Structure 1
Amino acid sequence: MENQDSKLGFTQFAETWNGRLAMLGFVIGIATEVLTGQGILSQIGLM
């Protein structure tokens, strides 16, 4: 990494990783629904 700017707060670095992890969580949630046949809320007992 050539750029040694701050990595905390609302920076491009933090927002990029936030977006990547959100996409990963969404894909895992959809895959779990497909494999189990239940929605996320019913899996954790809210429905």
Structure 2
Amino acid sequence: MKDNFEPRYGFVNFAEIWNGRLAMMGILIGLTTELLTGQGILTQMGIG
């Protein structure tokens, strides 16, 4: 019996699509908090 299982990790389309979606969400959340607080992302993290 042959399984048509595609891995969900590594450099496969499933993983890359979710990586892109999460990156877009991170940028949006970072910019939103920057607009609401008036501080840059690095300042909020205590680096800058």
TM-score category (smaller protein): 0.7 to 0.9
Instruction: Tell me the secondary structure at the aligned position of residue 46 of structure 1.
Output: coil
> Structure 2: which 5+ residue stretches go unaligned?
none
Percentage of matched positions with identical amino acids: 60
Larger radius of gyration, structure 1 or 2?
A: 2
Give the Å deviation of 1:13: 0.3
Q: Which amino acid aligns with 1:6?
A: P
User: 1:27-46 counterparts in 2 under 5 A?
Assistant: 27-46=28-47
Q: Which amino acid aligns with 1:29?
A: G
Give the Å deviation of 1:29: 0.2
User: 1:1-47 counterparts in 2 under 5 A?
Assistant: 4-47=5-48
Give the Å deviation of 1:7: 1.1
Query: Aligned residues, how many?
Result: 45
- Please, what is the CA RMSD of the aligned residues? 1.2
Cα deviation digits, residues 1-47 of structure 1 (max 9, x gap): xx631112100000000000000000000000000000011111112
TM-score, length basis structure 1: 0.86
